[in-house]
Amino acid sequence: MVTESNAVKPNRPSALDETLKIFSEKWTFAVLQELFFGVRRFDDFQRNLDISRSVLTTRLNHLVTYEVIRKVAYQDRPKRYEYKLTESGRAMYGSFVLLKQWGERWLNTGSAGELVLIHDSCSKKLEAELVCLHCGKPVSAHNTYPETIHGTP
Amino acid sequence: MVTESNAVKPNRPSALDETLKIFSEKWTFAVLQELFFGVRRFDDFQRNLDISRSVLTTRLNHLVTYEVIRKVAYQDRPKRYEYKLTESGRAMYGSFVLLKQWGERWLNTGSAGELVLIHDSCSKKLEAELVCLHCGKPVSAHNTYPETIHGTP
């Protein structure tokens, strides 16, 4: 059971964790962040997140159940496993980036030891914005409106 | 206290709720979604979300504490209040859009009664992608890498 009292206290500071202290169940997204940082193995998740083995097991199984990650054997004797993002898991990258970026912008994070993202194409610290796939123009709360999907047969 | 057992059961179906059943504390983001849909008043939040008054009060106060929303009087006798997004609250829009979009793409949502977002510039159902502010190119897990912030004096 995840409650607000057992908040994430990772070993390395993280803007995303700051964001999720406000918005969100923390461990699941914290595990997802580690996956985006390249972590694959149980002991590495545990060390980076300073999380109990039982909570980590629950969170990993939760993500496996929803097919956001899959468990893959990388050694036979003894059998050992690692966790890899599926296609839908990788598709969470944009949400992860924007939640992290929000924390960086609004919660005065950015301390030594924190990981930032570098964009290959320009080698700069990533600053991302959302644009429309149809017209290429920026997306904000000011230039969109909600509409109801009408009933289907 | 928010637990996994008291999941959001809004009156209208929502891709975002589906996403957050997997990833996240649910009520806070559900309230935020209502704000992005234009909801401002306590009774309207309560009706749309089918949430208890005490949980709703806690979630609204939580967002006020973090200055994501503010409480503004709109009537004097009797005193009545509504809730408005602050600048940092509006800046959560991108995360909200991408979480909702992920649910739409990967969780087979999109039922009658659900709200979708329309983009003003092109009048199409919003499909958003993340691009880099520096070089304008798309952002994905494949074209970024993490780097540690070095110590500051």
> Residue A91 belongs to a domain with what CATH number?
1.10.10.10
pTM for this one?
0.84
Residue A143 within a domain: no
Q: Rounded to an integer, what distance in angstroms lies between the CA atom of residue B86 and that of residue B68?
A: 5
Q: How far apart are CA A23 and CA A26, in angstroms?
A: 9
Question: What pLDDT digit, counting tens, does each position of B24-43 carry?
Answer: 777 888 899 899 989 999 99
Furthest C-alpha separation in chain B: 57
pLDDT at A33: 87
Question: Which residues does chain A have within 8 Å of residue B58's beta carbon, measured at their own beta carbons?
Answer: none
Q: Is residue B56 part of a domain?
A: yes
Q: ipTM of this predicted complex?
A: 0.83
Whether residue B37 and residue A120 make contact (CB cut-off 8 A), yes or no, is no
- B2, B62, B140 member nearest A3 (Cβ): B2
B53–chain A Cβ distance below 8 A for any pair: no
Closest Cβ opposite residue B116 in set A5, A66, A149: A149
- pLDDT > 70 fraction of chain B, expressed in percent and rounded: 78
What pLDDT score was predicted for residue B110?
Answer: 60
Residue ranges of B 117-146 with Cβ closer than 8 A to chain A: 117-122, 124, 126-135, 137, 139-146
Domain assignment of residue A97, given as a range: 15-116
Residue the block writes with tokens 């709360």: A141
Which residues of A are less than 8 Å from B22 in CB distance?
28, 62-63, 66, 68
Q: Do residues B89 and B63 touch, judged by C-beta distance below 8 A?
A: yes
Q: What is the mean pLDDT of chain B?
A: 83
Joined together, the tokens standing for residue A25 give 């169940």
The number of folded domains in chain B is 1
- B chain contacts of residue A135, beta-carbon cutoff 8 Å: 119, 121-122, 124
A90 contact residues in B (CB cutoff 8 A): 140-142
Q: Which of A36, A126, A152 should be substituted to probe chain B, the one whose Cβ sees the most B Cβ atoms within 10 Å?
A: A126
Is A113 a residue whose pLDDT tops 70? no
Region A130-148: mean pLDDT is: 93
Option in A29, A32, A121 nearest B137 (CB): A121
pLDDT score for A15: 64
Residue B67 lies in a domain: yes
Instruction: Grade residue A153 by pLDDT with cuts at 50, 70 and 90.
Output: very low
Structure tokens at B2: 């928010």
HEC profile for B56-101?
A: HHHHHHHHHHCCCEEEEEEECCCCEEEEEECHHHHCCHHHHHHHHH
A59: nearest Cα among B5, B23, B99:
B23
Q: Is the pLDDT of residue A132 over 80?
A: yes
Is B4 within the bounds of a domain?
no
Angle at B43 between CA B39 and CA B44, to 5 degrees: 30
The predicted structure's pLDDT at residue A5: 36
- B29, B62, B133 ranked by CB distance to A128: nearest: B133
Residue A47 lies in a domain: yes
- Of the two residues A22 and B98, the one the predictor is more confident about is B98
Q: Does B63 fall in a domain?
A: yes
Give Dmax over CA atoms of chain A in angstroms. Answer: 57
Tell me the pLDDT tens digit for each residue of A44-91: 999 988 889 999 999 999 899 989 999 999 999 999 999 999 999 999
Does residue A15 contact residue A100 with C-beta atoms inside 8 Å?
yes
d(CA A144, CA B32): 16
Q: Is residue A46 part of a domain?
A: yes
Flag whether A80 is in a domain.
Answer: yes
pLDDT on residue B151: 56
